[in-house]
Structure 1
């Protein structure tokens, strides 16, 4: 993993010995399990059910969804204790833990901070999010968003983007990623190859990006190029149809020309490749027998959020048995995942705290001071608005207008 920041200071010889030891201890089912990351809601009442699922499905990691700080921390501890191989714990925290955990501190959205343009403040913000992640036992943040929001009708990116200029988006995203990875948390740039110029939502359908290769290289791909050149370690593939790179109409997350040829070979990305959630409609629109198998064949390392993780595991094993996926392909991906586990978990000082105190450890006077600075920086902008909330507000305004109310 030469050149990746997250491996700086990691003893490569010791890492390889550990990876070899763990890999040889796993049977084929467990090796495939390392490539699957289900989405889990952190409800303590579901602990026994989740422990049973973990034993059967042998996940490589977990993305926790909506919940509360103490509940997620409690489940993380229990599941880590039960897992033979350390679990990668991920956060979908574009604007911090609050995006998923509603008793965490709330920060401005990216566009407000992008408009303010204080890169040192954005880096400090990333470092604070990393500190909170470490307390929670979180190793990966699915951030920053590096989409360039050049389509004002985009229904899903909007204020999640740092702006409309590829150079400015890149500068802000790199600052946030530096803060995260200096704090020992893997950053994940999304949504490759660029979701900023769509007028549809990949949660609901398969959007089309009709730009030429030349335009994509200048706009959509520019922040990703800068991110890769800076040695950051994660990327998320989007569910987009991009005819200029794959005329088949297949989603980019399931496309070998995009996920392997463009991402790995042409752009030289050496890190960990995650799909966007495979339960999204954008991943379900193609004529493939198994989305999970197609995503691995395309070049992804980790399958995020399959609708049925146990079924995905069985489909991959069946594909391997009939030679559609080779042993070498599975081994390469599994070893890459294990290498990141060594760097992110075994080589980091244990920063996690008990569930009873995690909220107090997160809400500190220093955190409050930084939060105030971030809110002040974004205060002068009018773009720090959730596009969904904006749509709801417009609908409410229309309803009130029709009823004569203001």
Structure 2
């Protein structure tokens, strides 16, 4: 037994059990009488109470002047928390400690970490994208990943993860959700989302299902404009809202509202759902009975500020029923507008008090009533522990999906003359290096995204001398988009190779990219690896060589050849 690995895993397990035993059910804790919450609330002025609504942006990669400007906001506006973005883990931990010292009431510290700290930070572990996780059939692995991520967050002094994404991505061209979703099957999305959030929440993190009531079938990115969701109430009830209803029933601590115009739910022209009381309070809180924290999506996004600038969006979000206002463009101005609205009784004193006490109760649940600074010692080694990379590999092995072929076709003959071709790269890949160990009579070929036609023709001539070909297709961009940025000539090369006998193709890219590679379906074997990471490449080699059995199933429909739920087992 690997003792170090066992101790790390045991520590995470005990951490989860200990926090859960101490804090108990999050939703239930919000409604219980709490002496600390009452005491803190009574000690605050109205301005300080309003400040608790606001969570502002923080970085450690923008210099001292930026950090000082955030410190000033903490001291002057008495904000409730911070949302950390890019930077480094040690710098983050140190700055969190500094900011906590400046705040009269301890701050809740948040981050978007859908695939872990590595989504935002350098020198930090990432886990697979949610689309990759959607292929995994054992949801216990997703729960365990949630616990691992909670350990990392808490190690830095973070209390909130704005995850999981519980949108159903049934639009392959979705520019903002896409690979961040578990897939296009509402049941799979709900089950994976619940497993993930329970892992985090049981380990002491406050989590948010997003983006209610569902951002998966849009072709507009709400960071840049206001998307229209034109569907009927019946469609929204039965599809988009389904994962959120299930998450609420399972006890999720938070829900984040999307910036979308949804006429079936609110006919007000150009009104984002974030600012709609019929959606936030009427639907989410009253109809669906959600009692946890309701957070706006980032209030600096054009989807909300385009029609409601200068603090008006924040005021409307507050009046609509949001409890937590994330990333206001001008929190100072917005706070003044909210104070004026309270004085004019546009919100009852009971609703306002309940809102602030709910946020304070969340701080108590997170342990901030007994706040302790984070130790920066050994942070890098703690969050990049061997167990993390080993677990990434375990998740990858469980996700790798075979949509065409069997064991005989996959393995081919190790003694035959073999070509191993990686496309979209400029250096030998992990896939090539690992696979060549099994095929001693092999040669490696590299193809860029737009090699000249004469080079491609020469390669095709050379490849005629080989008995079998393994192709790997790579998207090396930071985020795996639905369409590869390959030249038409390189696409034709892929189609030509796929049509040859004994050709096995592995795609380490967004699964939707397969639809843009006509002819790839003619491959004797086809594996889906979902993303560019080395772990997925190793998993593909393991399947090809018979070391592991393929267990993954497609989480989305790609085209008529490859549909949701497909996945060969042998």
Please say if 1:98 is aligned against 2:118: yes
Matched, 1:303 2:322: no
1:254 aligns with 2:275: yes
Q: CA deviation at 1:333?
A: 1.0
- State the alpha-carbon separation in 1 of the partners of residues 371 and 327 from structure 2: 28
SS in 2 for 1:189: strand
- 2:27 and 2:291 in contact (8 A); partners too: no
- Which protein has greater RCO, CA pairs closer than 8 Å, 6+ apart? 1
State the alpha-carbon separation in 2 of the partners of residues 308 and 57 from structure 1: 11
1:150 alignment partner, one of 170, 176, 179 = 170
Distance 2:348 2:147 in 1: 40
Task: Give the corresponding residue for 1:38.
Answer: 56
1:280-302: CA deviation from partner (whole Å, max 9, x where unpaired): 01112335771111001101001
Tell me the TM-score normalized by structure 2: 0.65
Q: Which residue of 2 aligns with 1:163?
A: 183
Please tell me whether residue 372 in structure 1 is matched to residue 393 in structure 2: yes
Superposed displacement of residue 375, structure 1: 2.8
The number of residue pairs the alignment matches comes to 396
Match of 1:18 among 36, 54, 64: 36
Q: Which runs of 4+ in 1 moved over 4 A?
A: 7-11, 347-350, 381-388, 390-393, 398-401
CA offsets, 1:329-348, max 9 Å, x none?
A: 32221111011111112478
| Aligned position for 1:53 | 73
Q: What whole-Å deviation, never above 9, does each CA across 1:74-109 have from its counterpart, x for those lacking one?
A: 111111122110101111011111111121112210
Structure 1 178/390 Cα, relative in aligned 2: closer, same or farther at 3 Å? Answer: closer
Q: Is 1:79 the equivalent of 2:68?
A: no
1:312 aligns to 2:331 (yes or no): no
Deviation at 1:314, TM superposition (A): 2.1
Matched, 1:263 2:281: no
Q: CA RMSD in A?
A: 2.8
TM-score, normalising length: structure 1: 0.90
Task: Give the SS at the match of 1:116.
Answer: coil
1:342 aligns with 2:364: yes
Q: CA deviation at 1:394?
A: 3.8
Find the structure with the greater CA-based Rg: 2
Q: Residues 111 and 292 from structure 1, CA distance in 2 versus in 1: closer, same or farther, beyond 3 angstroms?
A: same
Measured against aligned partners, the alpha-carbon deviations of 1:167-197 in whole angstroms (never above 9, x if no partner) come to: 1100000000110011000110000000011
Does residue 200 (structure 1) correspond to residue 240 (structure 2)? The answer is no
Deviates more, 1:355-364 or 1:33-42: 355-364
Provide the rounded CA distance (Å) in 1 between the counterparts of 2:259 and 2:242: 19
Deviation at residue 166 of structure 1 after TM alignment: 0.6
Give the conservation status (yes or no) of the 8 Å contact 1:117–1:172. no
**CA–CA distance in 1 between the matches of 2:296 and 2:304?**
10
Mapped pair 1:292 → 2:314: yes
Structure-2 separation of matches of 1:345 and 1:54: 20
Moved more, 260-269 or 245-254: 245-254
Unaligned runs of 5+ in 2: 1-23, 404-472, 492-570
**Retained in 2: the 8 A contact 1:155–1:387?**
no
| Alpha-carbon contact 1:158-1:386 (below 8 Å) kept | no
Change beyond 3 A, Cα 1:275–1:387: farther
Residue 562 of structure 2 corresponds to none
Corresponding residue SS for 1:292: helix
Residues 197 and 400 of structure 1, relative CA distance in 2, 3 Å threshold: same
Contact kept in structure 2, 1:155 and 1:388, CA below 8 Å: no
2:323 paired with 1:281? no
The reply on whether 1:29 has 2:47 as its aligned counterpart is yes
CA distance in 2: counterparts of 1:29 and 1:391, whole angstroms: 44
Unmatched runs of 5 consecutive residues or more in structure 1: 402-406
Structure 2 distance, partners of 1:298, 1:399, is 53
1:175-254 matches, cutoff 5 A: 175-249=195-269, 250-254=271-275
Instruction: Report the Cα offset of residue 377 of structure 1.
Output: 2.8
**In structure 2, what is the equivalent of residue 404 of structure 1?**
none
Could you say if the C-alpha distance between residues 313 and 121 of structure 1 is closer, same or farther in structure 2, counting changes exceeding 3 Å? same
1:140 corresponds to which of 133, 153, 160? 160
With over 3 angstroms needed to count, the CA separation of the structure-2 counterparts of 1:251 and 1:8, relative to structure 1, is closer
Q: What's the offset of the Cα at 1:393?
A: 7.0
CA distance 1:210–1:385, change in 2 (3 Å): farther
- Deviation digits for residues 253-303 of structure 1, max 9, x if unmatched? 000010000000000000000000000011123357711110011010010
Q: Are the structure 2 counterparts of residues 330 and 9 from structure 1 closer, same or farther at C-alpha, using a change threshold of 3 Å?
A: closer
**Which has the larger share of helix?**
1
Question: 1:381: Cα distance to partner?
Answer: 7.6
- C-alpha distance in 2 between matches for 1:296 and 1:9: 23
**Residue aligning to 1:65:** 85
